[in-house]
Amino acid sequence: MAALPTLSTDRLSLRPFRMSDAPDVQRLAGDYDVAKGTLVIPHPYPDGEAERWIASLQRDEEAGTLVTFAIVLREEGRVIGFIGLDIAAAHQQARMSYWLGQPYWNHGYCTEAVRAVLVHGFQQLQLHRIYAPHFLNNPASGQVLKKVGMVYEGRLREHYLRFGRYVDVELYGLLEQEFDRR
């Protein structure tokens, strides 16, 4: 298997997760305000979940169905979040997801990470389409997707069941040719 890539931006390094990141993942993802914006982070966050999750990422990356990065502040070497692409290779498309620990919100870090992953997805992974759903009640995520130029594609009504409630989703997408033109 080829080595997993590391991407660099002005302030961030996007690198593969390591098992030693588990305590940071547990601390940051264990926050309900982080979990509630995501599709899958459990809450309460059980001991051992971060280790299990990191091991599962490594398996899925080897299978070619997932590309994930720990979002790391370059100057401090500190893990502040996650970004990844769930790849449907048969359709040359991927679903993007991300989360950041709450102390790091509203500094533009997610926008910076998303831009780098779009470049990677279209140029290195040769994807045709990258899309990202966000919960209707999560405008910060929508703002990130607007800032990077993703196209609003509509609302999926009660598309996910999250913490016992059906939730509406706003869908954004970008095609390779739209990305090229920017």
Ligand X SMILES: CC(C)(COP(=O)(O)OP(=O)(O)OC[C@H]1O[C@@H](n2cnc3c(N)ncnc32)[C@H](O)[C@@H]1OP(=O)(O)O)[C@@H](O)C(=O)NCCC(=O)NCCS
**What is the nearest approach in angstroms of ligand X to the Cβ of residue 176?**
22
180's enclosing H/E stretch is: helix 176-181
Residue ranges that bind ligand X, judged by CB under 6 A: 34, 37-38, 97-100, 105-111, 134, 138-141, 143-144, 147
108 backbone φψ class: left, alpha, beta (φ>0; ψ -120 to 50): left
Of residues 65 and 131, the one with the C-beta less far from ligand X: 131
Q: Which is nearer to ligand X, 128 or 147 (CB)?
A: 147
In the complex, what is the shortest distance from the CB of residue 73 to ligand X, in angstroms, rounded to a whole number? 12
Determine the Cα–Cα distance for residues 176 and 95; give it in Å rounded to an integer: 14
Q: Which residue is nearest to ligand X (CB)?
A: 37
Q: How far is the CB of 110 from ligand X (least distance, A)?
A: 3
* Rounded least distance, CB 17 to ligand X, Å: 16
Counting Cβ atoms within 10 Å, is residue 138 exposed (0-12), middle (13-18) or buried (19+)? middle
Of the two residues 120 and 134, which places its CB atom closer to ligand X in the complex?
134
> Do the bridges between strand 151-162 and strand 129-135 make them parallel or antiparallel, or are there none, so unpaired?
unpaired
Task: Tell me the two tokens of residue 116.
Answer: 């780098």
Nearer to ligand X, 2 or 103 (CB): 103
